[in-house]
Amino acid sequence: MSKPILSLREVVKEFPIRGARGNLSFRAVNHVSLDIFPGETVGLVGESGCGKSTLGYMVMDLQPITQGEILFEGQKLADASKVERRKLQAKIQIVFQDPQSSLNPRFRIGQIVEEPLRLNGWRDKRERKNLVLQLLSKVSLGEEYLRRYPHELSGGQRQRVAIARALSLNPQLIVLDEPTSALDVSVQAQILNLLRELQQNLKLSYLFISHNLAVIRHLSSKVAVMYLGQIVEISGTDDLFAKPLHPYTKMLLSSVPNLNDERPLEVAVESEMPSAMHPPSGCSFHPRCPQASELCRQFNPELQRVNDLHWVSCHNFSQKEEETKGDA
């Protein structure tokens, strides 16, 4: 088996809160471990505020981690020198949710796609222009877009520009942070198909962050379900959709009757997720869980192995029962 291109090991992110009772902190990401293999798309799904975007920003080195480690191709990001870090950063790129705000409105499209090349030592202007044209062509935009401004483009075209820019330094991993949620449904499908095509042609790996289960299912080979900063279930996509084990995953799936449903999860799921600033004791899902027991209120369950690809953190999961069901 190939080695992971990206590994997160027990990653924690805490943010300080200044309040009347002195300096406190809250934990947005809580001991998350995750591997992404070459050519793989890992979908990270959860409600708004569960910590999934924070996790993406830490992978991008846009947020420092509080504890744990992130390794890219086996190298710890924290141990890399400034020069090594710059090289590693070129291999990991991000596409944000809203291309309107992620593209500089004062730059023409040609300048936007060219900028990372210029900043990374591509001195020859003609070479840069040729590459920009190739990148635009990869996302099905022609030369006529070079001199346009972002506001002259549709939402889908702007997202294509953001993808072309993300491809400019020949990355190996792209963090896709809700890349289709600001787009119309018909445009979403086009962008998802483009991402899939680029992945196949360029052998890219994706960390695909979304609240939309249909989108996650369409693109991901593996899905991690996140709740209040923790991964509560992780599995191959087909297995997760066919046989969800964690009560939260079941709730997510059952609350979206039609997987083309575009409602955000915070509306689709009954009752609100507690604040990460005041997390419940024990299993953080217990206030919403129909199966919660005293044990759940006191102790946080660990991730348990179901099989090599499927892990779940729930006191009610029993590997023995699972094997008995499989034998029956």
Which one of 35-43, 121-129, 149-157, 284-292 is the stretch in contact with ligand SF4 (CB under 6 A)?
284-292
Residues between 176 and 205 that touch ligand SF4 (CB under 6 A): none
Residues in the chain: 328
Q: Are 221 and 44 in contact (CB under 8 A)?
A: no
> What is the smallest separation between the CB atom of 247 and ligand SF4, expressed in angstroms?
4
In one-letter notation, the amino acid at residue 29 is V
Q: Does residue 289 interact with ligand SF4 by CB under 6 A?
A: yes
Q: Which is nearer to ligand SF4, 237 or 300 (CB)?
A: 300
Which one of 134-142, 179-187, 194-202, 309-317 is the stretch in contact with ligand SF4 (CB under 6 A)?
309-317
Q: Does residue 27 interact with ligand SF4 by CB under 6 A?
A: no
> What is the smallest separation between the CB atom of 322 and ligand SF4, expressed in angstroms?
14
Among 13, 31, 218, 315, binds ligand SF4 (CB under 6 A): 315
> What is the smallest separation between the CB atom of 299 and ligand SF4, expressed in angstroms?
8
Among 162, 163, 296, 306, binds ligand SF4 (CB under 6 A): 296
Q: Which is nearer to ligand SF4, 6 or 314 (CB)?
A: 314
> What is the smallest separation between the CB atom of 294 and ligand SF4, expressed in angstroms?
10
> What is the smallest separation between the CB atom of 297 and ligand SF4, expressed in angstroms?
8
Q: Does residue 226 interact with ligand SF4 by CB under 6 A?
A: no
> What is the smallest separation between the CB atom of 164 and ligand SF4, expressed in angstroms?
42
In one-letter notation, the amino acid at residue 61 is D
Q: What is the distance between the alpha carbons of residues 104 and 65, in angstroms, rounded to a whole number?
A: 28
Q: Does residue 245 interact with ligand SF4 by CB under 6 A?
A: no
Q: Does residue 113 interact with ligand SF4 by CB under 6 A?
A: no
Q: Does residue 314 interact with ligand SF4 by CB under 6 A?
A: yes
Q: What is the distance between the alpha carbons of residues 282 and 279, in angstroms, rounded to a whole number?
A: 9
Q: Are 138 and 171 in contact (CB under 8 A)?
A: no
Q: Which is nearer to ligand SF4, 172 or 230 (CB)?
A: 230
Q: Which is nearer to ligand SF4, 43 or 247 (CB)?
A: 247
Buried b or exposed e, range 154-191, using 16+ CB within 10 angstroms: ebbbbbbbbbbbbbbbebbbbbbbbbbbbbeeebbebb
Which DSSP category does 49 fall into?
T
Among 4, 31, 247, 273, binds ligand SF4 (CB under 6 A): 247
Which one of 61-69, 89-97, 190-198, 311-319 is the stretch in contact with ligand SF4 (CB under 6 A)?
311-319
Which DSSP category does 300 fall into?
P
Q: Does residue 88 interact with ligand SF4 by CB under 6 A?
A: no
Q: Does residue 285 interact with ligand SF4 by CB under 6 A?
A: yes
Count of Cβ atoms closer than 10 Å to residue 206 Cβ:
24
Q: What is the distance between the alpha carbons of residues 208 and 202, in angstroms, rounded to a whole number?
A: 17
Q: What is the distance between the alpha carbons of residues 323 and 328, in angstroms, rounded to a whole number?
A: 9
What are residue 12's DSSP bridge partners? 67
Q: DSSP string covering 98-127, please?
A: -HHHHS-TTS-HHHHHHHHHHHTT---HHH
Q: Does residue 316 interact with ligand SF4 by CB under 6 A?
A: yes
> What is the smallest separation between the CB atom of 21 and ligand SF4, expressed in angstroms?
29
Which DSSP category does 258 fall into?
S
Q: What is the distance between the alpha carbons of residues 90 and 241, in angstroms, rounded to a whole number?
A: 34
Q: How many CA atoms within 13 Å lie on the side-chain side of 241? A: 18
- The set of residues, in sequence order, having a beta carbon less than 8 Å from that of 325 and lying 6+ positions away, is none
Residues that bind ligand SF4 (CB under 6 A): 246-247, 283, 285-286, 289, 291-292, 296, 301, 314-316
